[in-house]
Amino acid sequence: MRVAVLGAGAIGAYVGASLCRAGVEVHLVARGPHLAAMRQHGVQVRSPRGDFQARPYATDKPEEIGPVDHVFLGLKANAYAAAGPLVEPLLGPHTTVIGAQNGIPWWYFYGLPGPYQGRRIESVDPGGAVTKVLPLHRAIGCVVYPATVIESPGVVRHLEGTRFSIGEPDRTMSTRCSEFSAAMIAGGLKCPVEQDLRNDIWIKLMGNIAFNPISALTRATMAGICRHKGAKELVATMMEETLEVARLVGAQPDVSIERRLAGAEKTGEHKTSTLQDLERGRPMELDVLLNATVEIADMVGADVPTLRAISAVADLLNQSVAAAS
């Protein structure tokens, strides 16, 4: 099996190193000092589950790799539309694209029976730009649960979690999912193949849609938000509205708001990825979280006043960041 990890940052390099440990032919696509360090020393993973090192091939030129069996996308979702020149050299006739993103994926209504089958979500796939680069028939969904950070170039600190849930948009239990899952498991990760991954998507989104923008707007950590009575109530309201949208599109996320809040509080003084992007002056990944959910709410007739309000002020902040960069 040949796997290319496009965007080998903290999560991508962790997955690549794990697959390499399982004997998979892995190619990492990265840039800058992180790439230079991985070329020289490989990927060093520091984890409470045990440290390890792997030496996958690393490059900034996908054309050096050629077609692979699976492309694992470690890019932010807001970078997908512009990723065509990086993705194209990696695609063969049967190559899959595994989008390890937060929020609502570009393929969400592809292969989903019902009144919204085939609908495109403009916030996620503006003008079809993402679908053009990442054809729907290649898509395998992926919900990422682990927390990782780049401690220094070439060094990934694994904080917690090993689960990467995957699944086909059309709910089939495919061979291509099974083979990728087996490789991930052989590398020491959890990788269940879910018949309906959309339920996992909404469970993960419940936390991201609330904590990520609120952390950016307030500069607070996960635990800090949970300690503040008003902020915690705001998070719960946003989660309630999100669950209503999920139910109206036929999803059945099996988790309570109390459980999601408790899980978030346990993460401690953790900065969300959105807050980290803000502090680095990078555009925040909000379209696939808030804006997409509000767009779906409008589609199904759900009343989401809190999501709509937070979306507006967070989008304004994002515009300020973009103007300053």
Segments making up each domain of the chain, as ranges: 2-186, 198-324
**What confidence category does residue 265 fall into, taking pLDDT thresholds of 50, 70 and 90?**
confident
**pTM for the whole thing?**
0.94
The predicted-structure confidence for 125-171, as pLDDT tens digits, reads as follows: 999 999 999 999 999 999 999 989 999 999 999 988 999 999 999 99
Cα separation, 320 vs 323, in Å, equals 5
Distances in Å between the Cα of 269 and the Cα atoms of 119, 266, 272 are: 39, 9, 10
Q: What CATH number matches the domain at 2-186, 1.10.357.10, 3.20.20.140, 3.40.50.720, 3.40.1280.10?
A: 3.40.50.720
**What confidence category does residue 325 fall into, taking pLDDT thresholds of 50, 70 and 90?**
confident
Structure tokens at 54: 């792997």
CA-wise closest residue to 110 among 289, 99, 239: 99
Mean pLDDT value across residues 178-200: 97
Q: Is 271 an annotated catalytic residue? A: no
- Architecture of 198-324 per CATH? Orthogonal Bundle (1.10)
Residue in the structure block whose two tokens are 């469970």:
203
Q: 204, 229, 232, 271: which one is catalytic?
A: 204
Q: Do residues 154 and 44 touch, judged by C-beta distance below 8 A?
A: yes
Mean pLDDT value across residues 2-30: 97
Average predicted confidence (pLDDT) for the chain: 95
